[in-house]
Structure 1
């Protein structure tokens, strides 16, 4: 199993996405920086979902809302 890494800063993620959109490959960026190429591909896909270019998953806002609702639901079950 891979090593655990603290989440990358949103600014760093955005910078990696912009570099890919400017023509750099995720593999090239993975060699230069720490995240794997797959991680960078995932960030680009999520960015495309958030901007409406892709519709194959949840946007970041939808994912955050789902997490909040699940937490609230768990708390309500405990209180009941």
Structure 2
């Protein structure tokens, strides 16, 4: 029998990590009251602390501001890729057109 991995929303992670950072709970107290593992909570606390300092995480962001930054960065990457594809297509079409007129 396999054990299903639990998933938590970014809001839950932020709320749980803020218990430690803002309300003075210890990691153990917050784990017990929220029903999460200690290693997960330590990661969330570290991530929330980093995000509050302006560091964009590599994984899924917890804070709404960092989530928005990640969405915009992804959009920028996609637009850059589309622009590159269009440049290559234009160059290819122009070279074919130039060969036909010669």
Q: TM-score range by the shorter chain?
A: 0.5 to 0.7
Q: How does 1:26-65 map to 2 (within 5 A)?
A: 26-52=27-53, 58=58, 60=61, 61=70
Could you say what secondary structure the match of 1:23 adopts?
Answer: coil
CA RMSD of aligned residues (A): 3.2
Separation in 2, partners of 1:53, 1:23: 22
How many residues matched? 64
> If the length of structure 1 is used for normalisation, what is the TM-score?
0.56
Bigger Cα Rg: 2
Separation in 2, partners of 1:36, 1:27: 9
Q: How does 1:1-80 map to 2 (within 5 A)?
A: 3-21=3-21, 22-52=23-53, 58=58, 60=61, 61=70
> If the length of structure 2 is used for normalisation, what is the TM-score?
0.46
Q: Which residue of 1 aligns with 2:65?
A: none
Higher-RCO chain (CA-CA 8 Å, sequence separation at least 6): 2
Q: Which ranges in structure 2 are unaligned for 5 or more consecutive residues?
A: 62-69, 82-102
Q: Which has the higher helix share?
A: 2
Structure 1 stretches of at least 4 aligned residues deviating more than 6 Å after TM superposition:
none
